Chain A
Amino acid sequence: MAGLEIPTWDPATALLIGVILFEAVVLYVGYGALERLLGPRIMKLLLGGVDSAER
């Protein structure tokens, strides 16, 4: 029978969770920078079509 389990220290699993945490932080910062960089151009593209974005 599966009873309650106290988490035990497992370096491999901790690394697994660390990888996901690291990816999340990198994505937050990375997409944030990307948004600042490309956001205005994408807005122009959406509002005025391809021609206005190229101007």
Chain B
Amino acid sequence: MLNGSVGSLGIAPELLAVFVGFGLVVGILFGFFGMGGSFLVTPALLMMGYPPRVAVGSGMAFVFGTAVIATLKHHDLGQVDYKLGGIMIAGTTLGIEVGRASVFYLEDLGLAGGIISIAYVLLLGGIGLMVTREAIKGGGGGIDHDAVEKDLSEYEIPDTAKWIQQTIRIPPMVTLRGDVRVSAWVITFVAFLTGLLSGFLGVGGGFIRMPAMIYGIGVPVPVAVGTDLFEIVFSGAIGSYLYGQGGGVDLGIVVPLLLGSALGARVGSAATAVVDADGIKIYFGGMLLAGAVAVGIGEIGSYVGNPVLETIGLLLVIGAAVVVAAAILYTTVISLRESHHPSPSTAD
């Protein structure tokens, strides 16, 4: 039955183990930081030699599966605004389709791999710099896990969101959870831009959409998190469907990745209860920067036809993620033991 590949997935056992392991790492990062992880998958697949449409399509299908699992959890906590989600879905759908069409068009021109990689370098580099700077300053970056436990009425609307709400009052106006009143066009515009990014890069877009919802629309953090995940379920499903029609979704990649990430997300999420995320955010920023460098090195290797550079790039992007995930696990275990055995003399 197996005959060199695992069942109907048609994948070698070694590769299956690699994908489950990588999924576990990505899941830990996603569960702990509430973002990240998933946008390491597409560049890793690109560097492993998968065609751009398979790398992006499978990356998007993986994001879809991850979002389903996370939304089920947030639905149980009552943190999803379905009205906001519905409008976001409409704008994102159009954005994804424009992004996807761009990938297929660039692929016809033979430019897709290069341009997607450059976009990743800029994106990972930009976000990596931002998160690292915030971490060094001692500020945020990523989800404030403590914030999720506050009441919705306790949240202040950021100044930018207040300005947008007072300036752009094109009807129809909608009222969202937390008594936020905003033009449906603002929501649609934010959704279109993030959908464009999703369709072009195969990412969930949450790391752009969540700050956009908080600072652009003014919704409370927990609602932004829950609604974002709900929206990713739909955008991920539509994107995966469109890529799947073009043969871009490989179950041999998605199924093992999801198997590992679902477990990793539980571990990462549980770790947030015992570890201070601020201390590790600097590593997260460093990981994103390493990812940007890795994609750049891999692309140069591909351009000059040097497979060693491509391998170095791949090892760097996976290695950086593994190191951060291991740091989270190590810190969690140490924190747990310290909290239960404050003095070494009392230990068995």
Are B262 and A27 in contact, CB atoms less than 8 angstroms apart? yes
- Residues on B with beta carbons closer than 8 Å to the beta carbon of A35: 266
When C-beta atoms are compared, the residue in chain A nearest to B68 turns out to be A24
When C-beta atoms are compared, the residue in chain A nearest to B255 turns out to be A23
Are B337 and A46 in contact, CB atoms less than 8 angstroms apart? yes
Asked whether A54 is an interface residue with its Cβ less than 8 Å from the other chain, the reply is no
Are B245 and A17 in contact, CB atoms less than 8 angstroms apart? no
Q: Which of under 10, 10 to 19, 20 to 34, or 35 or more describes the interface residues of B? A: 35 or more
- Min C-beta distance of A45 to chain B, whole Å: 10
The residue that B249 contacts in the complex, of A1, A16, A28, with Cβ under 8 A, is: A16
The residue that B69 contacts in the complex, of A3, A5, A24, A51, with Cβ under 8 A, is: A24
Q: Return the CB mask of A6-33 against B: 1 if under 8 Å, else 0.
A: 0110100110110111011101100100
Q: What does DSSP make chain A's interface, helix, strand, loop or mixed?
A: helix
Are A17 and B241 in contact, CB atoms less than 8 angstroms apart? yes
Are B98 and A4 in contact, CB atoms less than 8 angstroms apart? yes
- Residues on B with beta carbons closer than 8 Å to the beta carbon of A37: none
Question: Whole-angstrom distance between the alpha carbons of A24 and B72 in the complex?
Answer: 10
The residue that B64 contacts in the complex, of A1, A20, A49, with Cβ under 8 A, is: A20
- Residues on A with beta carbons closer than 8 Å to the beta carbon of B68: 21, 24-25, 28
Are A20 and B72 in contact, CB atoms less than 8 angstroms apart? no
Nearest first, the 10 A-B pairs at minimum CB distance are A24-B68, A27-B262, A2-B105, A13-B244, A24-B65, A2-B104, A2-B101, A28-B69, A20-B65, A16-B244
